[in-house]
Chain A
Amino acid sequence: MGRYVIRRLLQMIPVFVGATLLIFLMVNVMGDPIAGLCGERACDPATAARLKAEFGLDQPVWKQYLTYMGNVLTGDFGTAFNGQKVTELMATAFPVTIRLTLVAIVFEIVIGIVLGVVTGMRRGRPVDTGVLVATLVVISVPTFVTGLLLQLLLGVKWGWINPSVSSDATFGELIVPGLVLASVSLAYVTRLTRTSIAENRRSDYVRTAVAKGLPRRRVVSRHLLRNSLIPVVTFIGTDVGALMGGAIVTERIFNIHGVGYQLYQGILRQNTQTVVGFVTVLVLVFLAANLIVDLLYAVLDPRIRYA
């Protein structure tokens, strides 16, 4: 187990370097960010040159990357154009997004798995068909349409929620945005669980458990569900990274000042430091989530052992 984890951690290094380099190059393709800082006029050349030097933009890209990574390793993520440290931005943005992601994942787990189990146990019944159609519809409508619609109906028309999330972004305020963010994944979790449950229902160990006279409840929760959860856990685990980085649309609609908001602002202002910094952390989250998912396999399926 220990050796396995170490090997995995070592493999993360090239992936981490590659992914950060990739995003670094992508942001650089966007061109000179200084021009946008001076409003609707050309920056005077002297100031532009000084700003470039200050942000290290006068160096060749490879050198910028090395300097940047060197700084990152010492915990210095650079400074945004408005003079704020990127680490400060992260300190305000990540807690908000983590809360949002948590809400979304709770929705995925609770609603998704319950619906999945229900439909999986009743394959082919009206309940199954109904949920199936509903999930397909959710999948095929873009998130921003769902978000705008819920905001208009719940926030403005009926007044059940505030249309926007305050800067505190408490769990209560994040319920609707979390639901919107989770909607597509939720549909997938439902379908995954359903398929998995339906498959395992007919397996030997379930039949054995039923034959032993175990109560149905126990069969489902201890035997059936546990074995059926592996693909679901895989999905949810890897979805964490996608939810955190992919909340750009949801955060924009509900005015949540999280990671997606900072990334969006950073991209619009071509702020290399902000974008690369946040993506670096997201890549780490992604890699860590992948590792945790693999380790969870061993927990869910005792036959899997990592040497």
Chain B
Amino acid sequence: MRRGRDGGAADARRPRVVTGARTAPRTVTRTATRTAAAAGATAVVLLAAACGGGGGGGDEGAVLSSSWGDPQNPLEPANTNEVQGGKVLDMIFRNLKKYDPKTGAAQDMLAEKIETSDSQNFRITVKDGWKFSNGEPVTARSFVDAWNYGASLKNNQKNAYFFQYIDGYDKTHPESGSQSADTLSGLKTVDDRTFTVKLSQKFSTFPDTLGYNAYAPLPRAFFDDHDAWVAKPVGNGPYQVDSYAKGSQMSLRKWDGYNGPDKAQNGGVDLKVYTDNATAYNDLMSGNLDLVDDIPASQLKNAPNDLGDRYINTPAGILQTLAFPFYDKAWNKPGMEKVRKGLSMAIDRKQITETIFQKTRTPATDWTSPVLGEDGGFREGLCGDGCEYRPSDAKKLIQEGGGLPGGQVKITFNADTGSHRDWVEAVCNSINRALGQGKACVPNPVGTFADYRNQIGDEKMPGPFRAGWQMDYPLIQNFLQPLYYTNASSNDGKWSNQEFDDLVDQANAESDTTKAVDTFVKAEEVVRDEMAAIPLWYQNGSAGYSERLSDVTLNPFSVPVYDRIKVG
């Protein structure tokens, strides 16, 4: 799961973003309509205009520059679990499925068809005619080899668990000790264009997960000369890597041999590494950079003025929550659900999203995301009064529940990224005001993201802690199972509830999508009744671009849709 946005990397910057205003009509989408000539933006306009020129259709050879963060891991598809690396993989790879940049719906890309009769055995046919940019054709083997590589313990792939539902995963990736098989027994190549997948359990929406980067096909070059491949990755997407100076810049150029439906509309993209997104924004302002997909919180107030209609603010599949340490008896005893709900009601989400985030977040009223849409399982208002700001009820509930453990809550977060501190402080101030107590809530910053993850892993959280979730694929399953299922990979609070687990199992086995979604929503209601985590807000993607660019959008994963951007 590429959860990255808010933690994924210790980078001080992270992208954010998203598109698809259509999927979420109710989200506060602040479309700035002020003219670019607004006061204060004059210098920018002049500079941008100087670089502008050209005409309507856009120059297909022109290259744009975009802000980037240094990926934390080598750029192998099954090893990239944060947004920055994912951005590149999105450009240089095309998978069996692709999520529509607007709606997020999974659509066939390389997949000609994916057939199943029992939601457990799948037969996948790959389209003819696809090639890697080094000329090698994309075949069924390209997928099978890549997936086997990703699932094999010895390759240290951090996204290996994406293959955990495939039969034989327990052999290639045992929980401890060494692997007893190098390949997944559930993967069989039938012919050049066909392979079969056998899962270890029923998983009706499995085909829809295949748009995730970890499932990308890999050319032989990846296996034959691995070091060379990592230094300059080769894929089958609309762009190819021209040069890669780790830690400072990656130049991607349009691959002319690309035959897919989504050819690049520009000549290429230069991804420039920034340590601080404030600097990137300043560069955009002075005409030094074309696209910033992570506007710093401190500039959100200025962005509509500075950028006019070149400021994008659209919903993304990102939900920020506060999780609880259920391994700590003080937070897990009966009655504490009232305290948890009380805390939730003491948070003035509207005020915080408007003031700190300038409406680039929307107060959350359920545990999924508006980008899923009603059909996908998003239920506005599912949380009910538990997510409304009611200071007096909050105080009463907390008292009924036995009061705050130790008389004080500490909200833990990693402080190496700028804006967490702002909102945690605001949340604490809101709780303090609601309870009428000066130090009822205290922020508890942890210096680095790595240390933060360590403390979570060691079950040392002293109270609620920041939990951000960016969806891997737009399914309600992805918002619930990894976070709340007993011992699931991202169930950091170690919440466990038999009723929830049963409902999720039931939903996964359900082959009718509507019924499956309804069952997931029932599971979500269990989360609500227990207040397993406090939903804070849905995060939008916010981006800004120079006057040279047009047709800039963000997809539901908060990544710019580079191939559609026109330059000039």
Contacts and interface: CB of A to CB of B under 8 A. Distances in A.
A56 B463 CA distance: 33
Q: How large is the interface on A (under 10, 10 to 19, 20 to 34, 35 or more residues)?
A: 35 or more
Nearest to B453: A35
A50 B452 CA distance: 21
A149 interface: no
Q: Which of A93, A156, A252 counts the most B-chain CB atoms under 10 A from its CB?
A: A156
A155 B282 contact: yes
Interface in A47-84: 47, 49-51, 54, 81-84
Interface of B, secondary structure class, is loop
Interface in A135-192: 151-152, 155-159, 162-164, 167
A41 interface: yes
Contact of B153 (A43, A46, A92, A152): A46
A191 B230 CA distance: 52
A41 B490 contact: yes
B275 A44 contact: no
Contacts of A82: 70-74, 246
B160 interface: yes
Contact of A255 (B8, B274, B492): B274
A254 interface: yes
A159 B43 contact: yes
A31 B451 contact: yes
A33 B7 CA distance: 14
Contacts, number: 187
A40 B468 contact: yes
Contacts of B247: 84, 89, 92-93, 257, 261-262, 265
A222 to B, nearest CB: 46
A253 B176 CA distance: 44
B285 A83 contact: no
Interface in B271-293: 272-276, 279-280, 282-283, 285-286, 288
B293 to A, nearest CB: 16
A42 interface: yes
A92 B245 contact: yes
B10 interface: yes
A150 to B, nearest CB: 11
B141 interface: no
Contacts of A32: 450, 454
Contact of B73 (A42, A81, A92, A152): A81
B453 A36 contact: yes
A37 B158 contact: yes
A41 B288 contact: no
B137 interface: no
14 contacts: A40-B7, A42-B456, A46-B174, A49-B176, A81-B73, A83-B74, A156-B286, A162-B288, A167-B249, A255-B273, A257-B247, A268-B12, A268-B449, A269-B10
